[in-house]
Homo-oligomer: A and B are copies of this chain.
Amino acid sequence: MNILYDERVDGVLPKVDRGELLKQLRTALPDLEILHTTEQLKPYECDGLSAYRVVPMLVLLPEHLEQVQTILKLCHALQVPVVARGAGTGLSGGALPLEQGILLVMARFNRIIEINPEGRFARVQPGVRNLAISQAAAPYQLYYAPDPSSQIACSIGGNVAENAGGVHCLKYGLTVHNLLKVEILTADGEHLTLGSDALDAPGFDLLALFTGSEGMLGIVTEVTVKLLPKPQAARVLLASFDSVELAGRAVADIIAAGIIPGGLEMMDNLSLRAAEDFIHAGYPTDAAAMLLCELDGVEADVHEDCERVEQVLKRAGATRVRLARDEAERVRFWAGRKNAFPAVGRISPDYYCMDGTIPRRELPAVLRGIDELSTQFGLRVANVFHAGDGNMHPLILFDANQPGELERAEALGARILELCVAVGGSITGEHGVGREKINQMCAQFSSDEITLFHAVKAAFDPAGLLNPGKNIPTLHRCAEFGSMHIHQGKLPFPELERF
């Protein structure tokens, strides 16, 4: 499948003289590696969201800050769009290339500059892998908290661009909560520092604004992240339920009991069976839904919290509650969860991963709604998600080779996201908007709000050269897509009537 970036609707891309650009790049940066043959470019045609594919005009692989600066200045002068890419693990097509733009691959900026145990921070280049930071900090009993499932491969620069989350975000926050400082280059090659080494910075909070801006405001060239002390102890409970709704209610009960678990994840029968077949984690394949609840901290507290959570789970109707008997089993329990996406990939030719976030209290209603929509559209949906944050990942199973199934999957996905918005939630929790959810942004925001986003974008990048066509839709696109703005359930949404 090869869906081209919709140039007609957004109409922001100037026509670029590829030959002229290549010539000027070679002259200005003779040492820069440039990929330009079809064969070389093909592997870069998509990121982790393979449903969209576009072969970029050129792929550039810089190794030094000065190279990036020169590239940006040159592209700015020639009005060439620039899409930045880290490890290419993104799930919303944020790093999807443009036919008329360069792909700026930051993977070679992979140096850990400093681990500072006293100040509890790490200063790293953007291409450093998420897990590598924790590995480098491990000798000091420190770690970097956000842990996307792709943490073995994804880069910290990409994490900043997408404001990545992970299973431990409920307790430790998203990427934005774990950053001190980011160095960036703007579209015209200016070098700026956002944030500071102290806990607060004066002026507008550009660090928070930048985090999650999906490569539209600047290129990350250095990141200073906070490091946390490793919890003394971590235990995980696995609870089985006879229905997803009961499991959803149990989540609310745990939080209501004043406990903040290190992780609180839910999987329904379809996803837990897929994971079990793949990883043999020891999951209860007869359960309609299961919860994984991790407690971490000081040994004595963890012990006490485990007992309290077990009581809450049983009162909430868990048919069985198991404590991982040792560290090996704990790791296995998590391995099943972290591999749930590829596991579902084994039972369906294609799947489409949603990333809606809802107020936690709406979990049971939304799970029921997804179930109804699944029946209505005739497609299976596997639910596996960060229950504690209300960050859902319904996986829509389909077969792209069956005529009409892709379109049906996309339509179902759109309905699910609109349902999330209608209950006061949002269309993305941690994967970003990228190319994939750009139409749903029209449901999330009013035209005044979208206009403001564009004005903020223009403050950083007046020429609109950085990652155009992602994240923020044009008003024109929203008009074509249909007037969809749903203000927290105030506009009619038939599914909601029945909840």
State A176–B173 Cα separation when bound (angstroms): 13
Q: Is the CB of B449 within 8 A of A193?
A: yes
**Cβ of A163 to closest chain B Cβ, rounded Å:** 7
Residue with the highest number of chain B CB atoms closer than 10 Å, among A201, A433, A488: A201
From residue A285, how far is it (CB to closest CB) to chain B in Å? 31
Find A452's partner among B445, B449, B459 (CB 8 Å cutoff): B459
> Which residues of A359-401 are within 8 A (CB) of B?
359-361, 389-391
Residues of B within 8 A of A221 (CB): none
Within A183-224, the residues touching B (CB, 8 Å) are 186, 190-193, 196-206, 208-209, 211-213, 217
Residues of chain B contacted by A471 (CB below 8 angstroms): 202-203
Closest CB in chain B relative to A430 CB, distance in Å: 7
Q: Is the CB of A437 within 8 A of B202?
A: yes
Query: Is A432 among interface residues, defined by CB-CB distance under 8 A?
Result: yes
Contacts A202-B432, A203-B441: A455 and B460 contacting too (C-beta < 8 A)?
yes
Contact with A198, one of B252, B357, B448 (Cβ below 8 angstroms)? B357
Majority DSSP secondary structure for residues of A touching B: loop
CB neighbours (8 Å) of A177 from chain B are 177
Q: How far is the CA of A181 from the CA of B359 in the complex (A)?
A: 12
Does A30 touch B at the CB level, under 8 Å?
A: no
Asked if A453 CB lies within 8 Å of chain B CBs, one says yes
Copies of the protein in its oligomer: 2
In the complex, chain B residues whose CB is within 8 Å of the CB of A427:
202
- Shortest CB-to-CB span from A106 to chain B, Å, is 21
Q: Which of A245-295 contact B (CB under 8 A)?
A: 252, 255-256, 258
Docked Cα-Cα span, A448 to B453, in Å, equals 21
Contact A118 B256 (CB under 8 A): yes
Give complex CA distance A202, B473 in Å. 12
Interface size on A, residues (CB 8 A): 77
Verify if A327 is at the interface (C-beta below 8 Å from B): no
Residue of B whose beta carbon sits closest to that of A417: B202
Are A200's CB and B424's CB within 8 A? no
User: Are B425 and A196 in contact, CB atoms less than 8 angstroms apart?
Assistant: yes
Decide if A359 touches B197 in the complex (CB within 8 Å): yes
Q: Verify if A444 is at the interface (C-beta below 8 Å from B).
A: yes
Instruction: Judge whether A328 is part of the interface by a CB distance below 8 angstroms.
Output: no
CB distance from A164 to the nearest CB of B (A): 11
Residues of B within 8 A of A212 (CB): 204-205
A25 vs B420: C-alpha distance when bound (angstroms): 42
Tell me if A300 is interfacial: C-beta within 8 Å of chain B: yes
- Chain A 390-427, CB-CB to B under 8 Å as 1, else 0, gives 11000000000000000000000000000010001111
A298 interface residue per 8 A CB criterion: yes
Q: Are A118 and B204 in contact (CB under 8 A)?
A: no
Contact call A196/B424, Cβ cutoff below 8 A: yes
Q: How far, in Å, is A198 (CB) from chain B's closest CB?
A: 4
List the B side residues contacting A361 at CB < 8 Å.
Answer: 118-119
Q: Is A80's beta carbon under 8 Å from chain B?
A: no
Contact A209 B205 (CB under 8 A): yes
In the complex, A152 has a CB within 8 A of chain B? no
A215 CB to closest chain B CB, in angstroms?
Answer: 12
Complex CA–CA separation, A426 to B177 (angstroms): 18
**Is residue A81 within 8 Å, beta carbon to beta carbon, of the partner chain?**
no
- Given known A360-B119, A448-B190, contact A456–B204 (CB-CB < 8 A): yes
A304 to B163 alpha-carbon distance, docked (Å): 36
Q: Which A162-179 residues have C-beta < 8 A from chain B?
A: 163, 165, 174, 176-177
Complex Cα distance, B454 from A203, in Å, reads 10
A444 to B213, CA, bound (A): 24
| Contact assessment for A456 and B459 in the assembled complex, using a CB-CB cutoff below 8 Å | yes
- Among A200, A213, A390, A472, the most chain B Cβ lie within 10 Å of the Cβ of A200
Known: A193-B449, A200-B389. 9 other contacts (CB 8 A): A174-B200, A193-B446, A198-B429, A202-B427, A202-B428, A203-B453, A206-B456, A300-B301, A455-B460
6 nearest A-B pairs in the assembled complex, by CB-CB distance: A208-B208, A455-B459, A197-B424, A198-B357, A229-B258, A198-B425
Q: What are 25 A-B residue pairs whose CB atoms fall within 8 Å in the complex?
A: A192-B446, A192-B448, A192-B449, A193-B487, A196-B424, A198-B424, A198-B426, A200-B429, A200-B430, A202-B426, A202-B432, A203-B444, A203-B453, A205-B211, A206-B209, A209-B209, A229-B258, A232-B258, A298-B301, A298-B304, A301-B301, A452-B459, A455-B458, A455-B459, A455-B460
- List residues of chain A with CB under 8 Å of any chain B CB: 118-120, 163, 165, 174, 176-177, 186, 190-193, 196-206, 208-209, 211-213, 217, 229, 232, 252, 255-256, 258, 298, 300-301, 304, 357-361, 389-391, 420, 424-430, 432-433, 437, 441, 444-446, 448-449, 452-453, 455-460, 471-472, 487-488
